[in-house]
Chains A and B, each alone.
Chain A
C-alpha cells in the first residue's frame, strides 16, 4: 500500500477547506475581515480601556493563585522585618507574601493596580470624547448607557480590589464605605449589617465576600458589558468625522484585515508596555508601610485611588446638613455620598434623550460633531469637568494645604465656593471660545488663510495678504460652505511650503534632494468615486 505523501504547503488550504465544509464560514468570515474602521486618534481612548481590561484579567488571574482572602488572625513571620511579630489578618499576610515572597509577585500586583487606574482614566477620557463629539446620539444611546454602567462597575470593582489587602489604608476606606451605607435612609443599617455580616467590621466575612465579588461576579459583569459594548459597535458601525466622501450612509477608513487589526494588535502591546513600565518602575500602594487595619489608627493624607477621590472630595466639602425629625435621622453623608453619585448616574443616562428632546432631533447620526460646532454641549462638558476637578482636588485638599502652606479650612471653603461658581464660569467661557472658533473658521473660509506677508498699498495702507481657499468674487470673498471639519489655517496645510527636511538630531535627508512625490489627493479621488457611483445608480 502506498502511503499518501504529506504535503505541508497544502496543509493550510486543506484545513481551511475542511473547516468551511463543516462551518460554512467563508462568507461571514470575509465580511468580518472586510469591516471598515475609520481612523482618528480620539478613537483610541476606548481602546486603551479595553486593553487595560485585558491586562487586568491576565494579572488578576495570576494574583488569585496566591491571594488568600481569609480574615483569620495570624502573626507575621515573613522576611519583611518591620512587621515581624505583628498580629494581622491572613489576607494582609498573603498580600505581603505576594509582594515579598512570590517571584515576580510585586510587579504583577503593581501592574494590576496601575492597569486599574489606567482603565478608569481611559473610560473617563473616552466618555468625554463621546460626549463632546455627539457620538452618543441616536442610534447609540444604549451603548452610551452601557458606558456609564461600565464606569460604575469599574469603580466598584476597583474599590473592592484595593480593599482586599486589609491594610490600614484600605480598612479605613472600607469603614468609610460602611458609614456611607449606614447613611442610606430607612434601610441603611439593614444593608450594612447584612453585607458585613454584623456590626463593623463584621465577623470576618466581608473580605471573603468582597473577594468573591471582585474575582468572579463583577469581572463577569464587566466582560458581559464590554462584549455587549463591542457587539453594538460592530452592529451599528463606528461613527466617523465629516470629511471628503464621508456621509451619514457610509464608513470611510481601512479594512480590519490587515491594517486596522494589526494596528490594534500593536496598540495592545503599547498599552501593555506602558502598564509594565509603570508597574515595574513606579511604586504603587506600598501597603507593607501602612500596617494591618486597626480601627483606632489612621495616618494623615489617607487618600483613596484617584477615581474614588472625587467622591471623597464631595464628602469633605458638603456641609453638615443632618436632618433629625420624628426620632429618625437623615445623615449628612447621604447628600454627597449617596444622592450625588445617584444624580451623576441618572443624568448622563438620560442626557441623550434630553438633548434629543430639547433640540427636537430624531434623526440617526453617524457623523461626529466638532466640539466647537455645538457650543452648549461642549460648555456643559466643561461645566461637568470643572465640577469634577474641584471635587477631585478637594479629595486631596489636606495634602495641597500641607504642601503649599495653605490653611486647611481655607481649602475646604475654596472648594465649597468654587463648586458653586466655577462651573457656570467654565460654561460661559467655553461657550464664547466655541463661538470664537466657529467665527474664525467662517472668516478663513470667506477671506482665506493668513500668509504672514504684509503689503503696503500705494496709498500708504498696510494689509496682510490672504490666500483664498477657492475662486473669489468681486469683493475678494470666497463662497465656501463649512463642512463640519477642520478648516486649513496655515499655509503649509495648503501644501504651499516645501516639507521640512526630516531628522531629529541631524538632517536625515539632503535638503536639495527631498523627494516630492505628488500623491493623488485622496479627497479628490473619493469625490470622483462618489460621483461615478451616484451617476451609475
Chain B
C-alpha cells in the first residue's frame, strides 16, 4: 500500500499492520517526519565474533573502572584529611586526588558511551529534507495580512489623536521606568573636585600640611632613606594608607647627589620648588592605566610600571620615555616640618593617575 503523507513520497509500511516490526514503525515514523533511513546495517553481521566480544569487554571494563573511581572519589571526599595545615601534609593531596578520581570516573563513562555508540550500535545514515529559503508565497501573504490587519483593527491610522496621545503619553513611562534604575547609579565626578585631589590635600588635615608616612603610619625623616634608596609613602591622615585613598601612594626617592643635580636642573616650571634637598616624590599611580609604577631601577633612574611597561625618567620630572604612558608622573611638593619629618607642602598640582576627558 502506498499512501502519500505530508508529501514525503510513498510510505514504507502501514503502522496498523500486525506484521510490522518495531524497526518498520521507526522507519515509517522517520519517513513521516521527513527523514529517510537510507543505510542501516549492524556493525557485526555475525553476532558473537571475537572482535565484538572484545569491544563488549572493553566497554564493560570502562564502566567498572568508572564505578571504582567514583567510589574512590566518595571515600577520599569523606575520609581523606582535607583541612589546610601549613607544611607538607597528606591534605595537600586532597584536591589532586578528588580531581583524578572524578575525572577518571567521568572520562570512563564518557568513553564507554561513545565507544558503545560508535562500535556496537548498527551503522546508520539518515537523510532529512531541508526546507530552503522562504515560506510559500500564499503563506507569507496571509501572515503579512494578519499582522497588518491587527494594526488596522486598532484604527491607529485614522485616529491621529490617539496616535499623538500614544507617542506623547506612553513614551515618558519608558523614561520613568529607566530613570530610577539608571538614576540611582549616577554620581557627579566633579562634586568635590575629587579627580584632582588626593589624601595629601591639607584640607584633609585641618588645613595643615600632611605628613608623609609609611605603611604603619610612622612619619619619615630625611635621614631614614640612604642615597639611592626609595620608599612608598602615604598621607599621614586617618585611613591614609588604606584603599580609601587609592590615589595617594607616592614614591619618595633619595637621589644620589649627581642625579639630584641633574634633576634640579631639569625641573620644569610646574615642579619648581617641589624637591627637598636631594629628595623627590612622585605619584606611584601610573598615568597610563593606574597600576603602581613601582619598579625603580637605581642605575638608570627609571621607574617601570610592571603592568604595561611604561618607563619614567626620575631625573627629568618623571617624564615617560618608553611605553604607552603619555604623561609624566605628577610630582608632590615636599618639605620638612619643625620636627624634621617629611610633609607635603601642598597637594599634587595636577590630577594623578590615568588621563580622562575633563583633564586640561
* A329 at the binding interface (Cβ < 8 Å): yes
* A106 at the binding interface (Cβ < 8 Å): yes
CB-CB under 8 A from B77, the residues of chain A are 103-104
Interface residue ranges, A against B (CB under 8 Å) = 30-31, 34-36, 73, 79-81, 99-101, 103-104, 106-107, 110-111, 172, 175-176, 178-180, 182-190, 192-195, 197-201, 237, 245, 248-255, 258-259, 262-263, 265-270, 272-274, 276-281, 293-302, 312, 315-322, 324, 327-333, 336-337, 364, 366, 397-398, 408-409, 412, 508, 515, 517, 519-520, 522, 525-526, 529, 533, 536-537
A296 to B292, CA, bound (A): 6
A92 to B279, CA, bound (A): 37
Least Cβ–Cβ distance between A16 and chain B, in angstroms: 15
What 7 A-B pairs have minimum CB-CB distances, sorted nearest first?
A280-B99, A269-B110, A277-B103, A266-B113, A296-B249, A331-B355, A322-B326
Least Cβ–Cβ distance between A75 and chain B, in angstroms: 13
Tell which of B45, B97, B107 touches A280, judged by Cβ atoms closer than 8 Å.
Answer: B97
| Closest partner residue, chain A, to B285 (CB atom) | A295
Assess whether B99 is in contact with A277, with CB atoms less than 8 Å apart.
yes
* B246 at the binding interface (Cβ < 8 Å): yes
Max chain A C-beta neighbours (<10 A), residue from B54, B83, B84: B84
A111 to B322, CA, bound (A): 39
Max chain A C-beta neighbours (<10 A), residue from B245, B291, B309, B324: B324
* B41 at the binding interface (Cβ < 8 Å): yes
A110 to B94, CA, bound (A): 13
Q: Which B221-255 residues have a C-beta within 8 angstroms of A? A: 232, 234, 242-243, 245-247, 249
Assess whether A364 is in contact with B133, with CB atoms less than 8 Å apart.
yes
Assess whether A329 is in contact with B355, with CB atoms less than 8 Å apart.
yes
Assess whether A316 is in contact with B98, with CB atoms less than 8 Å apart.
no
* B109 at the binding interface (Cβ < 8 Å): yes
Assess whether B354 is in contact with A279, with CB atoms less than 8 Å apart.
no
Tell which of A259, A280, A300 touches B295, judged by Cβ atoms closer than 8 Å.
Answer: A300
Max chain A C-beta neighbours (<10 A), residue from B132, B245, B294: B132
Least Cβ–Cβ distance between A213 and chain B, in angstroms: 12
> Contacts A188-B356, A200-B290, A398-B309 known; A526 to B117 CB distance under 8 Å?
no
Assess whether B38 is in contact with A529, with CB atoms less than 8 Å apart.
yes
A273 to B100, CA, bound (A): 9
| Closest partner residue, chain B, to A182 (CB atom) | B356
Assess whether B290 is in contact with A175, with CB atoms less than 8 Å apart.
yes
Assess whether A298 is in contact with B292, with CB atoms less than 8 Å apart.
yes
Assess whether B129 is in contact with A249, with CB atoms less than 8 Å apart.
yes
Least Cβ–Cβ distance between B109 and chain A, in angstroms: 5
CB-CB under 8 A from B246, the residues of chain A are 175, 199-201, 295
> Contacts A30-B29, A270-B111, A515-B51 known; A263 to B39 CB distance under 8 Å?
no
19 more A-B residue pairs beyond the given contacts A253-B126, A269-B109, with a C-beta to C-beta distance below 8 A = A30-B33, A79-B86, A190-B186, A193-B189, A262-B113, A270-B110, A278-B99, A280-B102, A281-B99, A294-B243, A296-B292, A298-B294, A299-B306, A302-B307, A327-B360, A329-B355, A329-B358, A331-B357, A520-B39
* B125 at the binding interface (Cβ < 8 Å): yes
Tell which of A182, A366, A515 touches B132, judged by Cβ atoms closer than 8 Å.
Answer: A366
CB-CB under 8 A from B83, the residues of chain A are 79, 100-101
Interface string of B127-158 (1 = CB under 8 A from A): 11110110000000000000000000000000
What would 15 A/B residue contacts be, using CB atoms closer than 8 Å? A80-B84, A100-B83, A106-B95, A189-B195, A198-B194, A253-B126, A262-B117, A269-B107, A277-B107, A298-B307, A302-B306, A312-B308, A321-B326, A412-B309, A529-B127
Assess whether A276 is in contact with B354, with CB atoms less than 8 Å apart.
no
Assess whether A103 is in contact with B82, with CB atoms less than 8 Å apart.
yes
Assess whether A280 is in contact with B116, with CB atoms less than 8 Å apart.
no
* B35 at the binding interface (Cβ < 8 Å): yes
CB-CB under 8 A from A536, the residues of chain B are 9-10
A255 to B215, CA, bound (A): 67
Assess whether A322 is in contact with B355, with CB atoms less than 8 Å apart.
yes
Least Cβ–Cβ distance between B73 and chain A, in angstroms: 9
| Closest partner residue, chain B, to A323 (CB atom) | B326
Assess whether B292 is in contact with A525, with CB atoms less than 8 Å apart.
no
| Closest partner residue, chain B, to A193 (CB atom) | B189
Tell which of B112, B130, B189 touches A192, judged by Cβ atoms closer than 8 Å.
Answer: B189
Tell which of B30, B54, B117, B358 touches A259, judged by Cβ atoms closer than 8 Å.
Answer: B117
Least Cβ–Cβ distance between B38 and chain A, in angstroms: 4
Tell which of B97, B127, B360 touches A252, judged by Cβ atoms closer than 8 Å.
Answer: B127
B contact residues, range = 35 or more
CB-CB under 8 A from B117, the residues of chain A are 258-259, 262-263, 266
* B336 at the binding interface (Cβ < 8 Å): no
CB-CB under 8 A from B10, the residues of chain A are 536
Assess whether B38 is in contact with A525, with CB atoms less than 8 Å apart.
yes
| Closest partner residue, chain A, to B54 (CB atom) | A508
> Contacts A259-B117, A280-B95, A296-B284 known; A252 to B125 CB distance under 8 Å?
yes
Assess whether A101 is in contact with B124, with CB atoms less than 8 Å apart.
no
Interface string of B22-54 (1 = CB under 8 A from A): 000000011001011111010001000101001
CB-CB under 8 A from A186, the residues of chain B are 357
CB-CB under 8 A from B295, the residues of chain A are 300
A332 to B325, CA, bound (A): 8
Interface residue ranges, B against A (CB under 8 Å) = 9-10, 29-30, 33, 35-39, 41, 45, 49, 51, 54, 77, 82-86, 94-100, 102-107, 109-114, 116-118, 121, 124-130, 132-133, 185-190, 194-195, 215, 232, 234, 242-243, 245-247, 249, 284-285, 288-292, 294-295, 306-310, 320, 322-327, 353-360
CB-CB under 8 A from B129, the residues of chain A are 249-250
> Contacts A250-B130, A280-B100, A537-B9 known; A329 to B113 CB distance under 8 Å?
no
Tell which of A179, A188, A237 touches B130, judged by Cβ atoms closer than 8 Å.
Answer: A237
CB-CB under 8 A from B323, the residues of chain A are 316, 320, 412
| Closest partner residue, chain A, to B7 (CB atom) | A537
Assess whether B110 is in contact with A266, with CB atoms less than 8 Å apart.
yes
Assess whether B324 is in contact with A107, with CB atoms less than 8 Å apart.
no
CB-CB under 8 A from B294, the residues of chain A are 296-298
Tell which of A31, A195, A294 touches B33, judged by Cβ atoms closer than 8 Å.
Answer: A31
Assess whether A276 is in contact with B106, with CB atoms less than 8 Å apart.
yes
CB-CB under 8 A from B360, the residues of chain A are 324, 327-329
Assess whether B353 is in contact with A179, with CB atoms less than 8 Å apart.
yes
Least Cβ–Cβ distance between B146 and chain A, in angstroms: 20
A297 to B307, CA, bound (A): 12
Max chain B C-beta neighbours (<10 A), residue from A31, A80, A520: A31
> Contacts A276-B102, A317-B324, A320-B320 known; A329 to B86 CB distance under 8 Å?
no
A165 to B270, CA, bound (A): 40
CB-CB under 8 A from A189, the residues of chain B are 189-190, 195, 356-358
CB-CB under 8 A from A520, the residues of chain B are 39, 41
Assess whether A253 is in contact with B306, with CB atoms less than 8 Å apart.
no
A183 to B308, CA, bound (A): 16
Least Cβ–Cβ distance between B91 and chain A, in angstroms: 10
Tell which of A198, A253, A279, A519 touches B99, judged by Cβ atoms closer than 8 Å.
Answer: A279
Assess whether A248 is in contact with B132, with CB atoms less than 8 Å apart.
yes
| Closest partner residue, chain B, to A102 (CB atom) | B82
Least Cβ–Cβ distance between B39 and chain A, in angstroms: 5
A337 to B325, CA, bound (A): 13
CB-CB under 8 A from B35, the residues of chain A are 34-36, 255
| Closest partner residue, chain A, to B194 (CB atom) | A199
Tell which of A176, A184, A364 touches B290, judged by Cβ atoms closer than 8 Å.
Answer: A176
A190 to B186, CA, bound (A): 7
| Closest partner residue, chain A, to B10 (CB atom) | A536
| Closest partner residue, chain B, to A401 (CB atom) | B309
Assess whether B95 is in contact with A107, with CB atoms less than 8 Å apart.
yes
CB-CB under 8 A from A266, the residues of chain B are 109-114, 117
Assess whether B124 is in contact with A172, with CB atoms less than 8 Å apart.
no
CB-CB under 8 A from A250, the residues of chain B are 127-130
Assess whether B307 is in contact with A182, with CB atoms less than 8 Å apart.
no
A10 to B51, CA, bound (A): 37
| Closest partner residue, chain B, to A199 (CB atom) | B194
Least Cβ–Cβ distance between A34 and chain B, in angstroms: 4
CB-CB under 8 A from B215, the residues of chain A are 296
Assess whether B45 is in contact with A517, with CB atoms less than 8 Å apart.
yes
